[in-house]
Amino acid sequence: MKYFTAIYSAPPENMKEWMSKPEAERKEDSDKMMKEWNDWLAAHKESVLNSISLGKTKRVSANGVEDAQNGMMVSSYVQAETPEAAAEIFKGHPHLQIPAATIEIMEAQQI
């Protein structure tokens, strides 16, 4: 069994647009997606080892530390036999309902 990190992303401008919706509409959409996410997670509980929400970003470079923005929202750690099998886990994931959303899967190896 191999291990993979999945990074869930969406363009920041799409998230800003979503946040501009009325709170009641956002809550309805959020509750629906959360139920679907939990259903997806239950269906893949043997493969998905953990998922975490990603917060505000700091970028560190040779020039120092600065605030940064990217589209990364969540990461999951999963197990599967192959990269293709890991990717199959995420087909139809509720996150993909967000316009232009993606999920990138990378093999994770101990350094």
CA distance 71 to 23: 22
Q: What is the pLDDT along the chain (111 residues), one digit of tens a residue?
A: 999 999 999 998 888 888 888 999 889 999 999 999 999 999 999 999 999 999 999 999 999 999 999 999 999 999 999 999 999 999 999 999 998 999 999 999 989
Do 87 and 4 touch, CB atoms closer than 8 A? no
Which domains occur in the chain, in start order? 2-55+69-108 (3.30.70.1060)
Prediction pTM value: 0.89
